[in-house]
């Protein structure tokens, strides 16, 4: 019997489909119900905490930067409170566009900051339309500072009317202040701060350095830069609860910031201020004095002065002109002010002439050359002719002011600053070792001695950005020719009319044989002229070695790092770079010879009546000639306690311009009035710099160091 296949009818098919759909819907509801139960009952507390956490913002609490004090404990750099207005980018971005624009425009009006500047500041660096130096390089979740040093009444208004300024915060932060004891400036020694860059922040993150963040400021020059890691402290964090409109509801915990450490320096505010004033006065006097060569007033466009302790290499005072008010950096600097600091018209005041300015040393170079000559075959009894001039090659080299004194010794040549005597010294060594002008490897004892005194190299120590100067020897001349021959040969080729002005004559000679080291180079080198350059700091360091018997010290500004509660963390000890490679007798000879300069030499007319028998000053003057400019004035002096150097560009003769100011500095250091020396009136108690540190009392006061701590 055949099987019969029974097919379901249409109504049965519909009921089956409906049952499947109902089962699926029921399963979906059961799944959603189970998920809701899991989220609201089983894990509800966690989600509620997470939701609450979304209304909490982490605000970085910047640390108070450490103090910088002088050798007596007087604050040179401190801190003050400043109201800062910031914008929470996250909250502001949630506002409707019209509301956001209206809020920021009203904020711009209240804090007196252009609206465009505020909007530019809120852009993250790297975003479209962001501008380097204006954009925000910190965390996207960190409030962005848009106005600093806001008046308190403005800050209070923003706090009291927070509903009108959603996403806007007003809080106090610590910024740099300059108490200026004795009206001291010290801008180039102290340095300045500026916001951390994006690259620096990325580097800090790589090194897991948690002492900086996007809102940090870091040291850019001076001791602010050299000791930035100690001074900056460590930021804290505060959790601030806010509502959906960005209104602050309260704090929910804080990790306190750690203040920076205190830096004790060797700078003496009294001496620093006095040196600054004397340098400025000397320049003003020079500007009112007629130059007999150019028949116009001296420009005296820049200057520097250094007072150093030769036994330790510590800097007691260091001044530079032009200078600037360090307060200009506090709380941020405007574009206009920044341009002025880099302006040639303003004299480039950001450049420290004491450490970064490089100048021909003139006759202050001669004591170094004397040491070199005495160490290499010439003797203390050597006599050479101090004629009015000397023919060297095809050029007549004259004595300064064309004076002639016949045959004299090294001591007399230093005292009188006789150029032709030293020309003959240079020719002696050139004839002995270097008559082949093409021989780059020719021996040159005078060059070697100059390098041994630290010239042409980084002076080391803790003076940030110090220049190396330049020794214009054979190797330098060849390297310079290779670098510049293309330019000067092009100038020479274009001179089709045969012009004989200085530029075209120089270009022709340079193109042909600018790499050759002739006898003219040798005689220029020995009197500190030509292409050799030094910084005032380098010269002070070299003269310190003459004072202390041959130890080349690293220049130091800092003496110690002290914790915020007054405990000594680190003492910064003097460092000897090396001992000068010289016979002791050569150093002693020069030391004794330089006593003659203020007694009866080129400095004597400015030191009449000074008690040189009680305060034995050694000295050397210099009047460096620079093509196209007026002479640079130099005076380099020292005792066994101090070195005092002063330099003024386009300022005239060494003794005539810098001499009176240097004398006054010595009188201030030793308490001299007329021919009387009164140690009780010395600028620094005890006359010499203290070796001990200030005392940090429990109540926060800082007392001068006790003299019983001195070595």
* β-sheet bridge partners, residue 318: 306
Tokens 């002070």 map to which residue?
540
Q: Quick check: helix, strand or coil at residue 434?
A: coil
d(C-alpha 591, C-alpha 583), whole Å: 13
Q: Quick check: helix, strand or coil at residue 230?
A: helix
d(C-alpha 357, C-alpha 466), whole Å: 9
Q: Regarding beta strands 68-69 and 262-265, do their DSSP bridges make them parallel or antiparallel, or are they unpaired?
A: parallel
For 23-33, write each residue's pLDDT tens digit: 777 777 777 77
The number of helices, as runs of H, and strands, as runs of E, in the chain is 23, 27
Q: Does domain 62-244 have CATH number 3.40.1390.20?
A: no
Average per-residue pLDDT for the chain: 90
With beta carbons less than 8 A apart as the criterion, state whether 177 and 77 touch. Answer: yes
* pLDDT band (50, 70, 90) for residue 52: very low
Nearest of 323, 422, 330, 297 to residue 372 by alpha carbon: 422
d(C-alpha 263, C-alpha 77), whole Å: 10
Q: Quick check: helix, strand or coil at residue 644?
A: strand
Beta strands in 54-126 (DSSP E): 56-61, 68-69, 75-87
DSSP string over 171-225: EEEEEEE---GGG---HHHH--EEEPPHHHHHHHHHTT-TT--TT-EEE-SHHHH
List CB contacts of 648: < 8 A, sequence separation 6 or more: 279, 282, 283, 286, 300, 302, 303, 632, 633, 657, 658
For 232-255, write each residue's pLDDT tens digit: 999 888 776 666 555 556 666 678
Phi, psi angles (nearest 5°) of residue 507: -60, -40
d(C-alpha 183, C-alpha 177), whole Å: 13
pLDDT-wise least confident of 101-115, 352-366, 408-422, 659-673: 101-115
Mean per-residue pLDDT, 50-55: 50
Q: 3-state SS of 379-399?
A: CCCCCEEECCEEEECCEEEEC
Q: What pLDDT sits at residue 128?
A: 76
pTM of the predicted model as reported, rounded to 2 decimal places: 0.88
Q: What pLDDT sits at residue 451?
A: 98
d(C-alpha 665, C-alpha 678), whole Å: 15
Q: Does residue 420 carry a pLDDT above 90?
A: yes
C-alpha pair distances (Å), 95 with each of 100, 116, 129: 5, 18, 21
Mean per-residue pLDDT, 283-294: 96
C-alpha pair distances (Å), 579 with each of 470, 584, 593: 21, 11, 21
Residue 709, judged by CB atoms within 10 A of its CB (0-12, 13-18, 19+), counts as exposed
Q: What angle do CA 496, 500, 505 make, to 5 degrees?
A: 90
Share of the chain above pLDDT 70, in %: 89
Q: What pLDDT sits at residue 433?
A: 96
C-alpha pair distances (Å), 84 with each of 102, 105, 144, 147: 21, 17, 10, 6
DSSP state letter for 500: -
DSSP string over 592-642: HHTTHHHHHSTTGGGSTT--TTTS--EEEEEEE--TTSPPEEEEEEE-SS-
* β-sheet bridge partners, residue 124: 136
Higher pLDDT, 92 or 559: 559
Q: Does residue 1 carry a pLDDT above 50?
A: no
DSSP string over 235-290: -EEEEEEE-TT--EEEEEEEE--BPPPEEEES--HHHHHHHHHHHHHHHHHHHTSB
With beta carbons less than 8 A apart as the criterion, state whether 586 and 401 touch. Answer: no
d(C-alpha 472, C-alpha 464), whole Å: 24
With beta carbons less than 8 A apart as the criterion, state whether 252 and 58 touch. Answer: no
Q: What pLDDT sits at residue 338?
A: 81
Q: Where are the domains of the chain?
A: 62-244
Q: What pLDDT sits at residue 402?
A: 65
What region does 226 belong to: left with phi over 0, alpha with psi -120 to 50, or beta? alpha
Q: How far apart are the first and last CA of the chain?
A: 131
For 595-636, write each residue's pLDDT tens digit: 999 999 999 999 999 999 999 999 999 999 998 999 999 999
With beta carbons less than 8 A apart as the criterion, state whether 414 and 366 touch. Answer: yes
H or E element, residue 104? helix 97-111
Q: What angle do CA 429, 432, 434 make, to 5 degrees?
A: 80
d(C-alpha 314, C-alpha 312), whole Å: 5
Q: How many CA atoms lie within 13 A of 480 on its CB side?
A: 16
d(C-alpha 357, C-alpha 645), whole Å: 14
CB atoms within 10 A of CB 91: 20
CA torsion 459→463→464→467, rounded to 10°?
Answer: -40
Q: What pLDDT sits at residue 690?
A: 96
Q: Does residue 70 carry a pLDDT above 50?
A: yes
* pLDDT band (50, 70, 90) for residue 9: low
């Amino acid at each position: 019997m055949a099987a019969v296949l029974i097919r379901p009818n249409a109504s049965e098919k519909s009921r089956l489909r409906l049952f499947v759909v109902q089962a699926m819907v029921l399963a979906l509801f059961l799944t959603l119900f189970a998920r809701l139960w899991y989220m609201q009952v089983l894990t509800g507390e966690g989600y509620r905490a997470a939701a609450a956490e979304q209304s909490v913002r982490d605000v970085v609490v910047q640390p108070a930067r450490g103090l910088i004090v002088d050798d007596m404990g007087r604050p040179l750099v401190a801190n003050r409170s400043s109201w800062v207005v910031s914008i929470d980018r996250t909250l502001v971005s949630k506002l409707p566009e019209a509301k956001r624009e209206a809020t920021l425009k009203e904020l711009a009006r209240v804090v007196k900051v252009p609206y465009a500047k505020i909007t530019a500041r809120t852009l993250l660096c790297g975003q479209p339309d962001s501008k380097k130096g204006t954009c925000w390089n910190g965390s996207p979740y960190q409030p962005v500072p848009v106005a600093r040093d806001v008046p308190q009444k403005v800050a209070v208004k923003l706090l009291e009317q927070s509903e009108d300024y959603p996403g806007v915060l007003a809080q106090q932060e610590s910024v740099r202040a300059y108490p200026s004891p004795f009206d001291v400036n010290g801008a180039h020694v102290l340095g300045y701060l500026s916001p951390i860059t994006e690259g620096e922040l990325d580097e800090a993150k790589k090194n897991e350095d948690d002492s900086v963040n996007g809102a940090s400021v870091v040291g850019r020059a001076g001791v602010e830069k050299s000791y930035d890691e100690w001074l900056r402290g460590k930021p804290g964090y505060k959790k601030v609860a806010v509502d959906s409109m960005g209104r602050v509801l309260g704090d929910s915990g804080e990790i306190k910031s750690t203040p920076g450490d205190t830096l004790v320096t060797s700078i003496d505010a009294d001496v620093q201020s006095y040196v600054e004033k004397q340098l400025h006065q000397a320049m003003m006097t020079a500007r009112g004095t007629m130059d007999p060569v150019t028949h116009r007033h001296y420009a005296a466009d820049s200057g520097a002065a250094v007072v150093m302790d030769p036994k330790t290499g510590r800097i007691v005072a260091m001044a530079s002109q032009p200078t600037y008010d360090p307060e200009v950096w506090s709380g941020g600097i405007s574009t206009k002010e920044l341009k002025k600091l880099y302006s040639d018209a303003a004299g480039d005041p950001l450049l420290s002439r004491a450490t970064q300015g490089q100048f021909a040393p003139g006759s202050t170079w001669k004591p170094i050359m004397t040491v070199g000559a005495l160490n290499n075959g010439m003797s203390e009894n050597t006599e050479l002719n101090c004629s009015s001039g000397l023919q060297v090659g095809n050029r007549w080299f004259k004595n300064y002011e064309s004076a002639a004194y016949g045959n004299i010794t090294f001591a007399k040549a230093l005292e009188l600053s006789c150029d032709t005597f030293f020309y003959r010294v240079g020719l002696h060594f050139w004839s002995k070792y270097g008559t082949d002008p093409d021989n780059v490897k020719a021996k040159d004892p005078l060059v070697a001695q100059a390098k041994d005194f630290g010239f042409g190299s980084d002076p080391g120590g803790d003076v940030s950005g110090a220049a190396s100067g330049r020794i214009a020897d054979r190797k330098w001349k060849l390297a310079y020719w290779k670098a510049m021959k293309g330019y000067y040969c092009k100038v020479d080729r274009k001179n089709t009319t045969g012009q004989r002005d200085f530029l075209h004559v120089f270009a022709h000679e340079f193109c042909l044989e600018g790499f050759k080291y002739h006898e003219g180079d040798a005689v220029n080198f020995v009197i500190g002229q030509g292409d050799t350059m030094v910084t005032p700091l380098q010269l002070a360091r070299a003269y310190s070695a003459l004072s202390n018997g041959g130890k080349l010290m690293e220049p130091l500004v800092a003496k110690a790092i002290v914790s915020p509660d007054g405990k000594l963390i680190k003492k910064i000890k003097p460092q000897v770079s090396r001992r000068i490679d010289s016979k002791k007798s050569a150093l002693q000879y020069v030391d004794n010879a330089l006593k003659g300069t203020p007694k009866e030499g080129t400095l004597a007319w400015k030191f009449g009546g000074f008690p040189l028998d009680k305060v034995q000053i050694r000295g050397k003057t210099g009047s460096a000639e620079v093509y196209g400019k007026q002479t640079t004035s130099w005076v380099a002096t020292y005792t066994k306690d101090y070195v005092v150097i002063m330099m003024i560009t386009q300022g005239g003769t060494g003794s005539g311009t810098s001499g009176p100011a240097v004398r006054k500095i010595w009188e201030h250091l030793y308490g001299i009035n007329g021919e009387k020396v009164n140690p009780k009136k010395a600028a620094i108690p005890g006359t010499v710099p203290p070796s001990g540190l200030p005392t940090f009392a429990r109540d926060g006061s800082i007392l001068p160091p006790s003299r019983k701590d001195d070595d």
